[in-house]
Amino acid sequence: MLHRPLIDGMEFARSGARLSGEWPVADFPRLQGLVQSGTTLHYALEGVPEGLGRPALRLHVSGTLHLTCQRCLATVEHVLEVEALLLLFASERDLAAVPVDPEGPDCIVATKEMAVRDLIEEEVLLAVPYAPRHDRCRASAGAGVAPRAGPFADLRDRLGTKH
What would the pLDDT profile of 29-60 be if each residue is shown by its tens digit?
999 888 887 789 999 999 999 877 899 999 99
Which stretches of the chain score pLDDT less than 70?
A: 1-3, 138-150, 156, 161-163
Q: What is the pLDDT of residue 145?
A: 47
Could you give the C-alpha distances from 42 to 73, 121, 146, in angstroms and in order? 26, 12, 45
3-class DSSP assignment, residue 17: coil
